Structure 1
Amino acid sequence: MPKIVDHDQYRRELLRQCFDLFAEKGYAALTMRQIAQGLGVSTGTLYHYFPSKEALFEQLVREMSLQDIKNAIAVMSEKEATLERAEVALQFVAEHEDYFIKQNLIWVEFYQHQQRENKSPCQVFHDVWRESEPQIAELLGIEDKPLLEFLGCVVDGILLHRMYEPEGFSFQDHARLLLEMLRLYLEKQQASESKVVDC
């Protein structure tokens, strides 16, 4: 009896394994042949699932972003208030800091490669952010789009700075400061809304 293969599951498994290859070697340095060797599959099998290295990488970005959101939902779903959810989300990032730093480095390296090749490097990141933004907004309980984008920028910045100063720069300390800023912002926003209602 022939073996039944769940092609979507197998494709996702290949993508998960690709993350470590890209983190170790970098996007530009890897060929499809080397990726296939690293995954322990034939080049033909790899091309069956991914028509090019660029397509493989773009699917990796989408798959990882989706998985990150699922993982965040699993740890945040019991919290009600926005601040509590934000605190849990920042703790989640802190606990998986190495993974998120590697992810940012891989994304930046892909961006640089695409720029050198005169291709549009931002489209996949733009698309993934636009697809995941409503889920993140709902997850955090934040409808304010500029605030949501600002929080993402600050977290990326903290992770980036952690690469420069891994010993003297604490993610947790800066996450606490970010939470305090968020608390003050939300209180001010709530006070403004109350004044409008009272008028």
Structure 2
Amino acid sequence: MPKIVDHAKQRADLLEGAFELFADRGYAALSMRDLARGLGVTTGTLYHYFKSKDVIFEEMVLRAVARDLTDATAELSEELSASERLRLIFEWIQANQKDLRRVLLLVFDFQRHKGDDPLAKGLVSEASATYRREFELQVGAAPGIWPLILGGLIQGILEPSHEDGVARLQAMETLLLGARADGGSGVD
């Protein structure tokens, strides 16, 4: 009797395992053969699920972004003020700095190796735009404020001991004052 395979689960498991391999070794250091070996599957199996290493990487990053947003916004509700939602988001960021740092460094590594490749530029742009849209939706931030927020988040992720989380949160709230998408005077 043939083995019944849950292809969606197998694909998700491969992406999860690929994340660990890419995080440990970097984008350029892995071939499809290396990925297959590290994932405990044949190269043919890996190609059955993914056309190329780039496709694996792209799907893996977009999956991580979706997971991050689901996790970061799980406790948010419309009853909370924008300020309370902002605090919960930053608490989640602080609690998940190690994983966020790994994703960020992976994306930087990918873009560095791919250079001007449209896939790399598109992936970075799509990931950032997804985070930006959710942030603007949850906090009510004006669209132009995202690059400043992102810069602060990246700094906090790359250099977490530079400043404490309370100071960073206060700085982010200050940036949002007067910069609300609804024209309000600040964070609720």
- In the other structure, the counterpart of 1:176 is 166
Listed one character per residue, the Cα deviations across residues 110-133 of structure 1 (whole Å, up to 9, x for unaligned) are 111101xx5232111112333443
2:34 aligns to what SS in structure 1? helix
TM-score of the superposition, structure 1-length normalised? 0.80
- Compare the two structures and name the one with the higher helix fraction: 1
- Does structure 2 conserve the Cα–Cα contact (< 8 Å) formed by 1:36 and 1:43? yes
Q: TM-score, normalised by structure 2?
A: 0.84
> Contact 1:101–1:159 (CA<8 Å) still a contact in 2?
yes
Partner of 1:150: 148
User: Could you tell me which of 157, 160, 164 is aligned with 1:159?
Assistant: 157
Report the Cα distance in structure 2 between the residues aligned to 1:77 and 1:2, rounded to whole angstroms. Answer: 47
Measured after TM superposition, the shift of residue 143 of structure 1 is 4.0
Instruction: Tell me the residue number matched to 1:129.
Output: 128
Any idea what SS the aligned residue of 2:72 has? helix
Matched pairs, number: 182
What is the alpha-carbon distance in structure 2 between the residues aligned to residue 189 and residue 31 of structure 1? 46
Q: Is the Cα contact below 8 Å between 2:16 and 2:60 reproduced in 1?
A: yes
RMSD: 2.4
Q: Which runs of 5+ in 2 are unaligned?
A: none
Following TM superposition, by how much is the alpha carbon of 1:151 offset from its aligned partner in structure 2, in angstroms? 1.2
Identity %: 30
- One-letter code aligned to 2:169: L
Instruction: Output the amino acid matched with 2:69.
Output: I
Q: Is the 8 A contact 1:142 1:148 kept in 2?
A: no
User: Relative to structure 1, is the Cα distance of residues 7 and 16 closer, same or farther in structure 2, using a 3 angstrom cutoff?
Assistant: same
Structure 2 counterpart of 1:157, which letter? Answer: Q
Q: Distance in 2 between matches of 1:73 and 1:193?
A: 23
Cα drift, residue 107 of structure 1: 1.0
1:88–1:193 Cα change, 3 Å: closer
Deviation string 1:137-165 (CA, Å, 9 cap, x unpaired) is 22x23241122332122101221223xxx
